[in-house]
Structure 1
């Protein structure tokens, strides 16, 4: 299945927009706990996050969403072709629900929060993915992005107290993992739609 440049650009724009949307939702939910995603003296958004945070998240979402169908083809995992947009929308709903639970539920400890999210993350992968490529990319995204966040805190870009940072570190890897799975499913479905459109055009010709 080969995509045209126009199809890839369209997928990239949709995935970029999705990543920005997820970032703003996450920021809004964390503000409800008086914990903005990044505490900086100068901000460019009503959601108290600098402009480059949604931009980086959107770019990462576009890359991840385009990578998923490619890896599926390389590994021969084609079961995602059986999915529909309704399944993808349910995945998005569960992902937003997990973020909402983090903001609303007061866990007794960071360990309880981390373990609960780990179970939910594995469940989301099992219900909506079940592929080796999805699991591998999700774990890779969680590890790399968490490491980058720790470096930002270490170098003073993110001004958190030790208590706040321990709380963030308890949920951030799982949220990133779930976000990778969700964006990957969107990217897969976009690839399926492009493939169907291409086949229809070929048959008409």
Structure 2
């Protein structure tokens, strides 16, 4: 009895199938090669194996360096902000204590909450202002292309802080015939602080701007009854208060500049 495959191979169409099969094999050859290439590209490269990534090696290395610089810059920015905030809080507590002892600043009894008899919102506000000012000074220097190089060491910064505390202490302790004499004396001391520890045009301009804005904000707070000054002679505040703000801005700016030394440059986006 004849078998089925004998009939198949004896069929006339078998010859046609025989002639059709080689082109299919030839057509499948390039597809198999492409599939093999895709599979090989997906496999993890072994040590010493050729690099199959279409992106240039230098471009991938550049992205890695850029990401590392950005992370390092943001890390230093957060560190400087925390240090400046802490400095602002400590200075606010100490200097405000001097003012309260001299009976210069009066807060309502219900808001006296801290160990230094200061309103609870004063230290956070001063800490935030110190962080903003301390970060702004080196940023302005960088944009103006005038890096500050005068007395850039921590010993000079500590002396600047001591002089600033002394100016604030003088505003609370010294007695003059009138407030105009006191204001002129503190103005001269504040300019002397800038000349001794800063001497930059950006520092002078920022100090004046900070003094002006801080005085406006203080006038607004006193006008709304948040707190008050005894014997105000400059609208609702004391006339020497802008001098304190100016010297404080210069002092915090020097701290911010010193902290910014050795910090990696901010990465520029391509």
Structure 1 vs Structure 2 CA RMSD: 2.1
Contact 2:134 2:255 in 1 (8 A): yes
Of the three residues 8, 11, 30, the one matched with 2:80 is 11
Relative to structure 1, the CA distance from residue 144 to residue 79 in structure 2 (aligned partners, 3 Å threshold; closer, same or farther) is closer
**TM-score (normalised: structure 1):** 0.87
Of Structure 1 and Structure 2, which has the larger fraction of its residues in helix? 1
Of the three residues 187, 191, 214, the one matched with 1:118 is 187
What's the offset of the Cα at 1:146?
Answer: 0.8
Larger-Rg structure: 2
Q: Superposition pairs for residues 44-193 of structure 1, below 5 Å? A: 44-80=113-149, 83-161=152-230, 163-164=231-232, 166=234, 168-193=237-262
Structure 2 residue aligned with 1:41: 109
Structure 1 residue aligned with 2:8: none
Contact 1:40 1:159 in 2 (8 A): no
Structure 1 residue aligned with 2:43: none
What's the offset of the Cα at 1:168?
Answer: 4.6
Unmatched 5+ stretches in structure 2? 1-68, 266-270
Flag as ranges the 4+ runs of structure 1 deviating above 6 A.
Answer: none
Contact 1:19 1:59 in 2 (8 A): yes
Q: Which has the higher contact order (CA 8 A, sep 6+)?
A: 1
Contact 2:150 2:198 in 1 (8 A): no
What's the offset of the Cα at 1:133?
Answer: 1.3
Contact 2:207 2:246 in 1 (8 A): yes
User: 1:160 and 1:192 mapped to 2: Cα distance?
Assistant: 39
**TM-score (normalised: structure 2):** 0.67
What's the offset of the Cα at 1:35?
Answer: 2.7
User: 1:177 and 1:20 mapped to 2: Cα distance?
Assistant: 18
